[in-house]
């Protein structure tokens, strides 16, 4: 291969990432809460040999304002628990990985650990989780576990509460990882002679004690097939990059151009080294919101038309790409040379832009020798070139 | 027309009912086991499958208890995956109200109900032990008097969340550009001494509106809780007389909560052993009992009542002559059954008297006094007995607990179910698509007829 392979993840959310996506002819806005809708999307992504899908989630209705609920009636509102959507779809697929979003600020690490371990069993080794912090006070009021102060819109990235919630998220991931290792792989012995089902010396208390919570362990669920399911996080600033560097296997960043991609990869690498993980593989993928069409002007026209329907220009934290699949392939290869190892593509419209990815972009990358022509591994870790890790407690 | 029987399949649990040493015993973790178990139950047109839950590995004598099956997957995640490989069967999960918050549980059940086309059910349990709480942010402790109060409040709050969407908000009108008919869907506010939450619930109303709600409590308070709020009770009373007494008591409480007799189903747990003849079934039942109560298991059971270390006791000898240690059970942790020994000294005396009268060793006594099978016989006599119990109002059906994973329900499904179908007391095929359809339960709440009893 002339290029190292590019990894591709499809980011699935509602009817797509453009607020007017649900009004497109191919959209299925009345089916967003059905299993069939999500199964079709993930199977399409799998036909395109993608590494994984991410599924968005939050403990709140979608809002055009990232800081507070809105009262719009012309946008998709309402959704399903992402971990359960992944689990519902997993048995209908064979190769593709699942990275459902889970809010860590308001949930129990013990529950999420066994849920993702179970998703790993259900999918035979294709599970991961995208961890997300939720700093909104109104979301905290949904759960009632804690109160959070309002955050200054202009200084989100450095707000003390945000810094603290990301520190807590790192503790949370540590607990997930310890719990996944709390059973050694061969703990279940079924020894008829002694009547023992497990070897208790191979079950481990994790005894995590942090500033925010403590967890005793062991998990109630044995070590999952991958040993350690994948942990991913999205970051736009130093504090979340630190979480990626400390805790994740996969970080999503939002570069504006190739030089920015290099800067962001360096920023994650710096945090990774500071956390003593310089020798570990941490993938850094670039996020792009994509509007794809047969020629560049058609793509631009389509975005303009969507914006007009939405009543406002598309706003996005990730760069919006409009153009042809071949032009997108050019950009991905350029950004790959800048240091990214893969991309999370957010289709503007589902299923239209997802199908452009799987049916046009993927063949284009394959022609350039930059993308797999068949699934080469049975697990998500395997697809990302990650081995099955040793258990931290074995021989301890 | 005779009463229609409801039948469910309980996935074998992490206790000694489950015989993991049997050569046909498979994984308790791999998804294939759950798939096979659920598909067998669906082949038999059963109402639902049932998953239990425990959130800390059990310990005895300060060590993880290793004689029974240990470990299980996450309830919600397994049920969502099972929705992909089954079409009609109900999916019942036991979810603790102590170590969760109403918003997250409500969105998980609403999501499961959407993803399964209306097949979700919730067995609401409560727990208060600090032992389990060590695995959670919240910690575990609840004062004895708060147990049901908090569980009641939890269920009430979750119900308010389920009902916060009426069901007509999502219009998704592409041409008109209106997705929502209501700018503030899912609005809720609940404040009491356990929960103080408000905002907007984010999962639109699911096919069943609310999942079917099971409750398992047996105390006076627990019975009232069920009569007020549950759709079904998962009870322990599987004998005719005890079943009838429980049934009459609980159904008699319903009018007080403005509910009809058919709005709450009584479904005891039950085990079964089938043979070609009565003798063969009885012989098989005894073999299974011995497999369930190994010499080592017998000692562990003894310790759970005696509340002291009896590891040197001879399982083939008589019961210990010392009395149980009275008070908090410190020997066995994470095990609900130890609380049922309300007067351990008296129980020990009963056991001694029985052992002496019947010349039983310790192990033989434990075989006799713990977990005898509910239905032992030929398919014909088991079908007869089940039908007789249901027609005599000892229950509305049974939640069957096989002793083998994953194939343990197959003999029942293949040999007993057809006999019940022939009698016209069990469905020949599913008539509806939702679990409420199977159970003959009304829709409740915003879109349904009957309001929440509070």
Taking 50 as the threshold, does the pLDDT of residue A11 lie above it? Answer: yes
Q: What pLDDT, on the 0 to 100 scale, is given for residue B372?
A: 83
Taking 60 as the threshold, does the pLDDT of residue B454 lie above it? Answer: no
A351 near A41, Cβ under 8 Å? yes
- The CATH number of whichever domain residue A143 belongs to comes to 3.20.20.30
Q: What pLDDT, on the 0 to 100 scale, is given for residue B449?
A: 41
How many domains are contained in chain B? 2
A110 touches chain B (CB under 8 A): yes
Within 8 A by CB and 6+ apart from B25, the residues are: B18, B19, B404, B405
Residue B144 shares a structural domain with residue B93: yes
Residue A392 included in any domain: no
C-alpha distance across the termini of chain A, in Å:
42
Q: Which structural domain range is residue B345 located in?
A: 294-369
Contact B197 A309 (CB under 8 A): no
Residue B22 included in any domain: yes
Residue B208 shares a structural domain with residue B101: yes
Contact A197 B70 (CB under 8 A): yes
Say if strands A283-292 and A319-323 run parallel, antiparallel, or are unpaired.
parallel
Residue B316 shares a structural domain with residue B393: no
Distance from CA of A219 to the nearest CA of B (A): 7
Q: Long-range CB contacts (< 8 A, 24+ apart) of B181-185?
A: B181/A73, B182/A73, B183/A71, B183/A72, B183/A73, B184/A71, B185/A61, B185/A77, B185/A78
Distance CA(B398)–CA(A269), nearest Å, equals 59
Mean pLDDT of chain B: 93
For residues B369-388, average pLDDT: 95
CA-based nearest residue to B3, from B345, B390, B328, B383: B390
Q: Which residues of A touch B67 (CB under 8 A)?
A: 195-197
Annotated binding site of B for FMN: 94, 148, 219
Taking 60 as the threshold, does the pLDDT of residue B453 lie above it? Answer: no
Picking from B66, B181, B198, the nearest residue to A200 by CB comes out as B66
Residue B299 shares a structural domain with residue B156: no
Q: Determine if residue A110 is left, alpha or beta; phi over 0 gives left, psi from -120 to 50 gives alpha, anything else beta.
A: alpha
Q: Which structural domain range is residue A221 located in?
A: 7-383
- The annotation status of A101 as a binding-site residue, yes or no, is yes
Q: pLDDT tens digit string along A229-256?
A: 999 999 999 999 999 999 999 999 999 9
Q: At what angle do helices B102-115 and B147-162 cross, to 10 degrees?
A: 50
Contact A88 B81 (CB under 8 A): yes
Nearest CA in chain B to A23: B174
**Lowest-confidence segment of A282-291, B132-141, B265-274 by average pLDDT:** B132-141
How many domains are contained in chain A? 1
**Lowest-confidence segment of A25-39, A314-328, B221-235 by average pLDDT:** B221-235
A212 touches chain B (CB under 8 A): yes
Q: pLDDT tens digit string along A182-196?
A: 999 999 999 999 999
Taking 80 as the threshold, does the pLDDT of residue B192 lie above it? Answer: yes
Cα-based distances in Å from B299 to B325, B332, B370, B443 = 16, 12, 13, 48
Of B309, B334, B369, the position where a domain reaches its end is B369
Neighbours of B323 (CB within 10 A): 13
- Best of B111, B189, B315 to mutate (most A CBs within 10 Å, chain A): B111
Backbone angles phi, psi at B280, to 5 degrees: -65, -40
Contact A118 B138 (CB under 8 A): no
Q: What pLDDT, on the 0 to 100 scale, is given for residue B238?
A: 81
The more confident residue out of A155 and B36 is B36
Contact B20 A84 (CB under 8 A): no
Distance from CA of B385 to the nearest CA of A (A): 34
Distance CA(B96)–CA(B54), nearest Å, equals 9
Q: What pLDDT, on the 0 to 100 scale, is given for residue A1?
A: 47
A29 near A22, Cβ under 8 Å? yes
Residue B249 shares a structural domain with residue B131: yes
A96 near A42, Cβ under 8 Å? yes
Taking 70 as the threshold, does the pLDDT of residue A381 lie above it? Answer: yes
Contact A215 B135 (CB under 8 A): yes
Residue A137 included in any domain: yes
In the block, residue with structure tokens 């006070």:
A137
Residue A175 included in any domain: yes
The more confident residue out of B70 and B451 is B70
Contact B186 A89 (CB under 8 A): no
Of B339, B369, B399, the position where a domain reaches its end is B369
Confidence of residue B446 (pLDDT cuts 50, 70, 90): low
3-state secondary structure B268-295: EEECEEECCCHHHHHHHHHHHHHHHCCH
Nearest CA in chain B to A123: B31
Residue B127 shares a structural domain with residue B256: yes
Distance from CA of B353 to the nearest CA of A (A): 29
Q: Which residues of A touch B165 (CB under 8 A)?
A: 78
For residues A108-127, average pLDDT: 98
Contact A198 B55 (CB under 8 A): no
Residue B153 shares a structural domain with residue B32: yes
Residue B13 shares a structural domain with residue B123: yes
Q: Which residues of B touch A61 (CB under 8 A)?
A: 185-186, 200, 202
Predicted complex ipTM exceeds 0.85: yes
Distance from CA of B403 to the nearest CA of A (A): 15
Distance from CA of A72 to the nearest CA of B (A): 6
Q: What pLDDT, on the 0 to 100 scale, is given for residue B452?
A: 38
Of all residues in chain A, what percent carry a pLDDT higher than 90?
Answer: 95
Residue B356 shares a structural domain with residue B248: no
Q: Which residues of A touch B116 (CB under 8 A)?
A: 35, 88
A22 touches chain B (CB under 8 A): yes
Residue A234 included in any domain: yes
Q: What pLDDT, on the 0 to 100 scale, is given for residue B145?
A: 78
- Beta bridge partners, B399, equal B8, B269
A108 touches chain B (CB under 8 A): yes
Q: pLDDT tens digit string along B213-253?
A: 999 878 888 899 999 999 999 988 888 999 999 999 999 99
Contact A192 B103 (CB under 8 A): no
Q: pLDDT tens digit string along A46-103?
A: 999 999 999 999 999 999 998 999 999 999 999 999 999 999 999 999 999 999 999 9
Cα-based distances in Å from A20 to A306, B246, B294 = 6, 57, 65
**Helix, strand or coil, per DSSP, at residue A344:** strand
Distance CA(B368)–CA(B348), nearest Å, equals 14
CA-based nearest residue to A48, from A4, A79, A105, A93: A93
Residue B453 included in any domain: no
Picking from B78, B85, B185, the nearest residue to A77 by CB comes out as B185
Taking 50 as the threshold, does the pLDDT of residue B450 lie above it? Answer: no
Residue B248 shares a structural domain with residue B306: no
Q: Which residues of A touch B31 (CB under 8 A)?
A: 91, 121-122, 124
CA-based nearest residue to B4, from B396, B429, B398: B396
Contact B199 A138 (CB under 8 A): yes
Residue A396 included in any domain: no
- The CATH number of whichever domain residue B113 belongs to comes to 3.20.20.30
**Helix, strand or coil, per DSSP, at residue A271:** helix
Residue B98 included in any domain: yes
Residue B212 shares a structural domain with residue B345: no
Q: pLDDT tens digit string along B251-280?
A: 999 999 999 999 999 999 999 999 999 999
Residue B360 shares a structural domain with residue B383: no
Of all residues in chain B, what percent carry a pLDDT higher than 90?
Answer: 84
Q: Which residues of B touch A115 (CB under 8 A)?
A: 74, 76-77
Of B369, B390, B425, the position where a domain reaches its end is B369
Q: pLDDT tens digit string along B54-76?
A: 999 999 999 999 999 999 999 99
Distance from CA of A81 to the nearest CA of B (A): 6
CA-based nearest residue to B254, from B225, B227, B229: B227
């Amino acid at each position: 291969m002339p290029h190292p392979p590019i990894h591709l993840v499809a980011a699935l959310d509602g009817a797509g990432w453009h607020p007017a996506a649900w009004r497109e002819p191919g959209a299925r806005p009345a089916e967003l809460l059905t299993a069939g809708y999500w199964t079709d999307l993930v199977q399409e992504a799998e036909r395109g040999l993608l590494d994984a899908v991410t599924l968005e989630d939050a403990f709140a209705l979608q809002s055009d304002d990232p800081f507070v609920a809105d009262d719009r009636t012309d946008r998709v509102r309402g959704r399903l628990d992402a971990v359960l959507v992944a689990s519902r779809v997993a048995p209908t697929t064979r190769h593709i990985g699942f990275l459902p979003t889970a809010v860590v600020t308001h949930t129990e690490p013990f529950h999420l650990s066994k849920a993702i371990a179970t998703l790993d069993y259900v999918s035979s080794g294709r599970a991961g989780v995208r961890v997300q912090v939720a700093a909104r006070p109104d979301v905290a009021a949904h759960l009632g576990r804690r109160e959070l102060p309002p955050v200054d819109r202009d200084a989100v990235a450095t707000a003390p509460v945000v810094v603290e919630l990301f520190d807590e998220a790192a503790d949370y991931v540590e607990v997930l990882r310890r719990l996944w290792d709390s059973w050694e792989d061969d703990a279940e012995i079924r020894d008829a002679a002694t009547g023992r089902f497990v070897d208790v010396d191979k079950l481990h208390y994790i005894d995590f004690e942090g500033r925010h919570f403590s967890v005793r362990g062991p998990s109630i669920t044995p070590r999952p097939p991958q040993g350690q399911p994948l942990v991913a996080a999205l970051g736009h600033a130093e504090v979340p990059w630190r979480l990626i560097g400390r805790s994740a296997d996969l970080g999503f960043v939002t570069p504006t151009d190739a030089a920015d991609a290099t800067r962001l990869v360096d920023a994650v690498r710096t945090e990774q080294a500071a956390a003593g993980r310089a020798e570990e593989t941490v993938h850094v993928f670039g996020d792009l919101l994509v509007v794809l069409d047969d020629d560049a002007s058609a793509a631009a026209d389509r975005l303009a038309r969507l914006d007009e329907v939405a009543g406002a220009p598309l706003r996005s934290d990730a760069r919006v790409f409009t153009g042809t699949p071949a032009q997108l392939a050019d950009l991905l290869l350029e950004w790959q040379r800048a240091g990214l190892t893969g991309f999370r593509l957010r289709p503007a419209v589902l299923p239209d832009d997802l199908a452009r990815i799987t049916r046009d972009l993927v063949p284009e990358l394959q022609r350039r020798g930059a993308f797999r022509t068949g699934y080469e591994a049975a697990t998500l870790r395997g697809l990302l070139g990650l081995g099955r890790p040793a258990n931290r407690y074995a021989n301890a | 027309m005779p009463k229609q029987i409801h039948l469910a399949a309980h996935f074998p649990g992490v206790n000694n009912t489950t015989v993991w040493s049997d050569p046909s015993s498979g994984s308790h973790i791999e998804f294939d086991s759950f798939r096979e178990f659920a598909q067998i139950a669906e082949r038999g047109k059963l109402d639902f499958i049932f998953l239990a839950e425990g959130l800390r590995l059990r310990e005895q004598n300060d060590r993880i208890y290793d004689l029974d099956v240990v470990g299980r997957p996450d309830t919600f995640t397994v049920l969502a995956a099972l929705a992909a490989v089954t079409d009609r069967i109900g999916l019942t999960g036991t979810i603790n109200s102590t170590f969760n918050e109403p918003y997250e549980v409500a969105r998980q059940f609403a999501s499961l109900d959407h993803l399964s086309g209306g097949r979700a059910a919730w067995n609401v349990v409560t727990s208060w032990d600090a032992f389990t709480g060590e695995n959670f942010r919240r910690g575990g402790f609840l004062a004895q008097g708060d147990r049901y109060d908090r569980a009641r409040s939890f269920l009430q709050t979750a119900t308010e969340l389920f009902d916060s969407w009426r069901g007509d908000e999502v219009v998704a009108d592409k041409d008109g550009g209106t997705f929502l008919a209501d700018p503030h869907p899912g609005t809720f506010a609940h404040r009491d001494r356990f929960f103080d939450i408000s905002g907007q619930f984010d999962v639109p109303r699911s096919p069943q509106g609310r999942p079917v709600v099971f409750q398992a409590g047996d105390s006076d308070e627990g019975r009232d809780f069920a009569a007020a709020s549950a759709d079904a009770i998962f009870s322990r009373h599987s004998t005719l007389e005890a079943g009838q007494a429980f049934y009459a008591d609980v159904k008699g409480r319903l009018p007080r909560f403005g509910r009809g007799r058919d709005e709450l189903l009584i479904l005891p747990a039950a085990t079964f052993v089938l043979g070609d003849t009565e003798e063969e079934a009885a012989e098989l039942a005894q073999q299974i009992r011995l497999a369930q109560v190994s010499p080592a298991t017998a000692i562990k059971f003894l310790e759970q009542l005696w509340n002291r270390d009896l590891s040197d006791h001879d399982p083939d000898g008589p019961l210990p002559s010392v009395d149980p240690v009275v008070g908090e059970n410190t020997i066995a942790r994470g095990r609900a059954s130890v609380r049922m020994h309300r007067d351990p000294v008296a129980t020990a005396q009963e056991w001694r008297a029985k052992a002496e009268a019947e010349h039983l060793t310790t192990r033989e006594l434990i075989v006799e006094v713990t977990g005898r099978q509910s239905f032992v016989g030929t398919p014909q006599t088991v079908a007869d007995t089940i039908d007789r119990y249901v027609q005599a109002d000892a229950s509305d059906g049974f939640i069957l607990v096989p002793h083998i994973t994953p194939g343990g329900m197959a003999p029942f499904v293949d040999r007993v179910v057809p006999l019940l179908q022939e009698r016209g007391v069990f469905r020949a095929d599913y008539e509806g698509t939702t679990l409420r359809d199977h159970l003959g339960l009304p829709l409740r709440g915003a879109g349904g007829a009957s309001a929440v009893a509070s």
